[in-house]
Amino acid sequence: MSSLLLLTNALQPSTEVLPALGLLLHNVRVAPAEGPALVDTPGADVILVDGRRDLPQVRSLCQLLRSTGPGCPLLLVVTEGGLAAVTADWGIDDVLLDTAGPAEVEARLRLAMGRQQIVADDSPMEIRNGDLSVDEATYSAKLKGRVLDLTFKEFELLKYLAQHPGRVFTRAQLLQEVWGYDYFGGTRTVDVHVRRLRAKLGPEHESLIGTVRNVGYRFVTPEKGERQSDETKAGTDRSGRAKTEDADNAAAQDAAEVAADA
């Protein structure tokens, strides 16, 4: 049994979008095809996108999903008439006709998840992004060849973000993925570890971990990081005074969160 996320703006149950789902033993969660759903996709084995109508908007949604790196196969549900509009630049892994029978739907889901697993198994143990390299085998991270002195949780957080460049994660998602379900601390733990990581990356590379306002964090590719750094220089003087006022509180919180690495 797999966990499926169906993105649709139709006010219909999943069995109306893809009737065959009603005959298969999968957990199906329905979410609107908009903003929050692009970030909050916990535990989904496959994402299904309802493309039966408004194809230009659906195409943009698929491309946005692909750019945020959902980490699971992306399947498009279309009518037979919509097939002609689908091209490789949509960024999807496969298409499903809304009239497809349960055997075909099950086979396509199985193949999509199987291909995803093969890609994951073949992924290198070392993650490289610009000057940064993260080696899972030795639990070490290097920046321009210099080994970073990271705690276990700092390493795990950096590794997880670097594995999904560009994808935005909420604090709750990072807490779940890096600290686990049995961790009872608050999401401020994530902020503390991000602050420590940025300090260890240094002024030149701290922008590799980007903040998405009111959402969370993402790993920024080096080119974007440099551009982001240039854009934020203008605001540095304005924010300097506020940072000074927050320094004592941040230091106190860092001390309180030391136990999180245990």
Tell whether the model's pLDDT for residue 52 goes beyond 70.
Answer: yes
Tell which wins on pLDDT, 37 or 199.
199
Is the separation of the CB atoms in 132 and 165 below 8 Å?
A: no
Q: What does the block give as tokens for 220?
A: 């920024």
Q: Select from 176, 157, 162, 173 the least CA-distant residue to 125.
A: 162
> What phi and psi, each to the nearest 5 degrees, are found at residue 115?
-65, -40
Q: What is the pTM of this model?
A: 0.53
Question: How deeply is 65 buried, as exposed, middle or buried, from its count of CB atoms within 10 A (0-12, 13-18, 19+)?
Answer: buried
- For the chain, the domains span 3-122, 126-261
- CATH level 2 (architecture), domain 3-122: 3-Layer(aba) Sandwich (3.40)
Chain centroid to Cα 60, Å, comes to 18
Domain covering 126-261 assigned CATH 2.60.120.260 in the classification:
no
Residues 149-201: tens digit of each pLDDT: 999 999 999 999 998 888 899 998 898 888 876 677 788 899 999 999 999 99
* Residues sharing a CB contact under 8 Å with residue 123, sequence separation 6 or more, in sequence order: none
